[in-house]
Structure 1
C-alpha cells in the first residue's frame, strides 16, 4: 500500500521524505534507554539534532556521542552515518533490485540517479552494486590503518570499533567521533591518523563517477599496455572527472597555503608547531573544510582571515555524486567561468575544448542562488536569536551546517533551542539540496507550461 503511494511521489519528494524518515527513526532509537548512558543529559531534541546531523553527514552536535550514548547508541549512530553517506535512495534501490530480480521502475531509478547525482541510467544495476562494494572496501582499509594506533591504545574490541567508526565517519564526510568533545585535536601531530582520515575524506567527497572513470582508465591502460603520455591519458577522462580533479587539487593546494601563511605565527593555532607539523595541520584543516567536520585545531583561536576563507571553502564543499555536501566544485567552476566569459564578451561557457550546455549553466546559477538564499536566511535567523555572539562565529556555524561540514567554533551546544532548529533546517537543506527541498514542498504533479511572451527590456547594473 505504502509502496504504491510512494511510487506516485515526485523524485524530490522521495529524496526529502527518505532522509526525513530515517532522521526521525534515528531520533527515536537514540532516545531509547538502551541507547543512553546513565550520565547522559541528552533530551529528545538533542537526539533529534544528532540524528539529523548524522543522516545529513554533518558532524554538529549539542551533546557528544561519547558523553551521551552507550555502545548500542553508538552502533545506531554508525548506521545512520553510513545511510546518510550512501543516501537512502541508493539502499532502497538495492532492496528493490533484490525483490524485483534486477528490475527497478523508471521513477525510482530517476530518484536514485538524482540522489547520487548520476546523469544516465546505463548499467545502472552494476553501478549501484559497485558503489556499495567500493565503499566497504575503502572503509575497511581505513579501519585497518587506523587500528594500528587505536588497538594498542584502547585494546582489541574498543580499538577496532573506534577505528571502524572513524573510517566510516571520514569516508561519509560526517565528522563524528566517539573520542570526546574535542574532535581530533589530540592527534594534531599524528601523521597516520591525519593522513588516513584525510584520504578517506577526499575519496568519499570526490564522487563515485570519478572513481569509476579513473579506474576504467587504469584498466584500459593495463590491457592495452600502451606507453602514451600522461596528458593524453588524462584527456581520455570525462570532462566531469577532469574538472572535478582540477578543482579539488586547486582548492586543497590554495587552502593549505592560505591557512599555513595566516596561522604560521599564531600561538593559538599552529604557531608553536614545527614546520612539518604546521604543513600537516594546514593540509588536514583544508581537507576537513571540504564538508568533513573533523578538527585538529581550536577554531576559536584561528585568525579572522582563516575563519573567513574557511567559510568560503565550506560553502563550495565537495564534488557531486559523493558523500560530501556544499554547493559542489563543478557548480562553482561553471559559475566562475560564466562570470569570466561574460567579462570577455563570450556567450558560451567552455571547458577543455567543450561547450557546456545552456541548461547546465542555468542549473548551476540556480543552485548557487538557492544555496546563497538559504544561507542568508539561516544566518540572519542565527544573528537575530543570538545578538551577543560574535557574528563571524554565527556565519561560520551557518555555513558549516548548510555545507554539511560540521566544524564549529565551540558554539553549537551553547546556542538557544530556536537556533538549534535553524541549524537542523540548514543541515537538512544542505544534504538534499535547497532546490530539491523546495521542489518537494511546492511542485505539483501537473505539468507546468513554459510560456513565452513578447520580449521586454530592463536597465540593470
Structure 2
C-alpha cells in the first residue's frame, strides 16, 4: 500500500504549484499516511493538488481501517468465501474472539465507520462551507472528518493545523468526538450499542452505574482508562500551561478548558493541534509522551500499547504489591497468559521507543532530548504530533522515524515475531529451578 500510494503521489498531477517536496519527502508522507501517523515534512496543502489530496485521503482511510479489514470486506462483498485460515488472520488483526458470522461483522464495522464519518462531515460543513465556499469547504470538512476518525492527524489547512479554530467549539468538539470514537475500538461500539438497545426495551431502567457494570470487562477497562487519561491530561495541561502567554495564558477560563481538553484528546492518538507545541513547558511534553505511549484501545484506528495493555500492567503491579497471587479486577481474575502477553507487548514497545530515541539523539546531539523523545514516541505510537522537529531532521533521522511509524502501526510484537527465528514446533522446555536475588 505504501508503494502504490508513493507512485500516485509522485505523479505530476498530484503536485501543487510551487511544491518543494523531493521523492524522499513523498515517500515519507506516504508512510505517514498509510500508518495514519500525521508527521509531515511539508504541509499537505502546500505539497499536493486536489488530486494528490484525494489520494492522501484514500491512503489515510485504508490505513486507518487496516489493510486486513479492507481486503476482507472487499472479498466478502464480492460474494467470495474466505478460508478458515484467512478468517483467523483477519480475526487476529481486528482482535475478534471468533470467526462466526464474519460477513455481517465486517459490514457492521464499515457501517459504523460510514455513520461516524458522515455525521462529522455534515457538522464540520456548517463551519467550513461558509468560510471557504461549497467546493473547498465540503472537501475540507470531509478530509478533517476522515482524518479525525482514523486518528490520522492530517489536514489541508496549511502549516498551523487547526490553530485558527482554537476557540471554535464546533470544530473542537466534533473532531474530539471523532478521535475518541475512532480510538475506542470496534468492540466497545458494538458492546455499548447492544446494551443501549436492551436498556431501551426495559420498563425499569436502573442507575447509570448499573449500565456500566453490564458492559463487558474489555469495554469497561477501555472506557475507564480512556476517560482517566483524558481527565488527568486535561487537568495537567490546564494547570501547567495556565499562565503561559505563548499557549493558553491569555485565554478566558472556558477557552483554556476547551484548548486543554482538545490537546489531550488529540495528543493520545490523532496529532492535530490548536496551539504551538514548541512553546509549551517541558513538563507538558513529558506528560504527553506518557499519554501517547498508552494510546488508544484494541481494535481501533489508534496506536500506542493500548489502554487495556496499560491496565493489565498497572493491575499486575497493584496486585503484586498487595501480595495477591492472581491479577483481579471487578470480581474477575485475569488469565496469566493474558497478563504475560501484556507485559511482553509493553516491554517490546518500550525497547523500540528507547532504541529509536537513542539513535535520534546520536544523530542530533544539539537537539533537546525531551523534544527527541516527543518526536520518537509520536512516530511509534502513530500520533503524528510534532514540535516542528521533523522538517529539520536529516535523511537518516527521517528514516528512523519511518521505521518507527511502520513498526508502531503493525505492532512491535508482530515485528518481533516476524523477525525472530522459530522452530516448527513450540517446545516448552523446563530445567531445574534457578534462584536469582532481585532488588
Question: What TM-score does the superposition give when structure 1 sets the normalisation length?
Answer: 0.93
Q: CA deviation at 1:119?
A: 2.6
**Which has the higher mean CA deviation after the structures are superposed, 122-131 or 48-57?**
122-131
Q: CA deviation at 1:321?
A: 0.7
**Which has the higher mean CA deviation after the structures are superposed, 251-260 or 89-98?**
89-98
Q: Is residue 42–residue 68 contact of structure 1 (8 Å, CA) maintained in 2?
A: yes
Deviations 1:32-62 (A, max 9, x none): 1111123111111111111111111110011
Q: Is 2:179 the counterpart of 1:197?
A: no
Residue aligned with 1:177, SS: coil
- Alpha-carbon distance between aligned partners in 2 of 1:51 and 1:435, rounded to the nearest angstrom: 23
Aligned ranges 1:35-434 → 2 under 5 Å: 35-101=14-80, 103-434=81-412
Deviations 1:396-417 (A, max 9, x none): 0001001111111111100011
Structure 1: gaps (5+ residues)? 1-21
Aligned ranges 1:19-30 → 2 under 5 Å: 22-30=1-9
- Alpha-carbon distance between aligned partners in 2 of 1:298 and 1:262, rounded to the nearest angstrom: 15
Deviations 1:94-140 (A, max 9, x none): 12223454x32122112212222223223322111111011011101
Q: Is residue 94–residue 129 contact of structure 1 (8 Å, CA) maintained in 2?
A: yes
- Alpha-carbon distance between aligned partners in 1 of 2:189 and 2:359, rounded to the nearest angstrom: 39
Deviations 1:263-282 (A, max 9, x none): 00011110000110000000
Q: Is residue 380–residue 405 contact of structure 2 (8 Å, CA) maintained in 1?
A: yes
- Alpha-carbon distance between aligned partners in 1 of 2:119 and 2:46, rounded to the nearest angstrom: 28
- Alpha-carbon distance between aligned partners in 2 of 1:357 and 1:79, rounded to the nearest angstrom: 40
- Alpha-carbon distance between aligned partners in 1 of 2:323 and 2:106, rounded to the nearest angstrom: 42
- Alpha-carbon distance between aligned partners in 2 of 1:238 and 1:202, rounded to the nearest angstrom: 19
> Which runs of 4 or more aligned residues in structure 1 lie more than 6 Å from their structure 2 counterparts after TM superposition?
none
Q: CA deviation at 1:323?
A: 0.6
**Which has the higher mean CA deviation after the structures are superposed, 129-138 or 36-45?**
36-45
**Which has the higher mean CA deviation after the structures are superposed, 150-159 or 443-452?**
443-452
- Alpha-carbon distance between aligned partners in 2 of 1:443 and 1:245, rounded to the nearest angstrom: 37
- Alpha-carbon distance between aligned partners in 2 of 1:51 and 1:225, rounded to the nearest angstrom: 53
- Alpha-carbon distance between aligned partners in 1 of 2:344 and 2:360, rounded to the nearest angstrom: 24
Q: Is residue 383–residue 394 contact of structure 1 (8 Å, CA) maintained in 2?
A: yes
- Alpha-carbon distance between aligned partners in 2 of 1:148 and 1:345, rounded to the nearest angstrom: 56
Question: What TM-score does the superposition give when structure 2 sets the normalisation length?
Answer: 0.98
- Tell me the matched-pair count: 439
- Alpha-carbon distance between aligned partners in 2 of 1:308 and 1:234, rounded to the nearest angstrom: 32
Q: Is residue 239–residue 351 contact of structure 1 (8 Å, CA) maintained in 2?
A: no
- Alpha-carbon distance between aligned partners in 2 of 1:236 and 1:31, rounded to the nearest angstrom: 51
